[in-house]
Amino acid sequence: MKTIVFANQKGGVGKSALACQMAYYFHQILNKRVLVIDLDHQRNTSKALRTGGIATVAATTSSKILADPAANIDRAEFVLVAGDGDLIKIEKKPTEHNAYASNLLAFLGRVAGDFDVCLIDTNPNPDIRQLAALVVADYALAPIELNQEAIDGIGDLLNHENIGIRRIQATINPKLVFLGIVPNKVELTPFQKDNFHALAQAHPGLLIAMEPGFAAIKKSTAIAEAQAAGLPVWKLGKTSGRDAGREMRPVFDKIASLMEVSYAA
Q: Which of 191, 36, 22, 23 is nearest to 111 (CA)?
A: 36
Task: State the Cα–Cα distance between residues 133 and 254, nearest whole angstrom.
Answer: 22
Q: How many Cα neighbours within 13 Å face the side chain of 99?
A: 14
**Cis geometry, peptide bond prior to residue 212 (ω within 30 degrees of 0):** yes
**3-class DSSP string for 204-241:** HHHECECCCCECCCECCHHHHHHHHHCCCHHHCCCHHH
What's the pLDDT score for residue 111?
A: 97
Give yes or no for a contact between 167 and 159, defined as CB atoms under 8 angstroms apart: yes
Q: Which of 58, 67, 107 is nearest to 87 (CA)?
A: 67
Task: State the Cα–Cα distance between residues 263 and 172, nearest whole angstrom.
Answer: 31
Spell out the domains of the chain, with CATH numbers in brackets.
2-258 (3.40.50.300)
What's the pLDDT score for residue 172?
A: 92
What are the φ and ψ backbone dihedral angles of 59, each rounded to 5 degrees? -70, -30
Enumerate the β-bridge partners of residue 165: none
Going 99 to 41 to 50 to 136, the CA torsion angle's sign is negative
Give yes or no for a contact between 135 and 99, defined as CB atoms under 8 angstroms apart: no
Task: State the Cα–Cα distance between residues 33 and 73, nearest whole angstrom.
Answer: 14
pLDDT tens for the 265 residues of the chain, in order: 999 999 876 666 778 999 999 999 999 999 999 999 999 999 999 999 999 999 999 999 999 999 999 999 999 999 999 999 999 888 888 888 899 999 999 999 999 999 999 999 998 877 899 999 999 999 999 998 887 777 776 777 888 887 789 999 999 999 999 999 999 888 888 888 888 888 888 788 889 999 888 999 999 999 999 999 999 999 999 999 999 999 999 999 999 999 998 776 5
Task: State the Cα–Cα distance between residues 258 and 240, nearest whole angstrom.
Answer: 28
What are the φ and ψ backbone dihedral angles of 180, each rounded to 5 degrees? 140, -175
Burial code (b: 16+ CB inside 10 Å, e: under 16) for 155-177 equals eebbebeebbbebbbeeebeebb
Is the backbone of residue 134 left (phi > 0), alpha (psi -120 to 50) or beta? alpha
pTM of the entire predicted model: 0.94
SS3 of 227, please? helix
Give yes or no for a contact between 255 and 142, defined as CB atoms under 8 angstroms apart: no
SS3 of 121, please? strand
Instruction: Label the pairing between strands 139-144 and 177-183.
Output: parallel
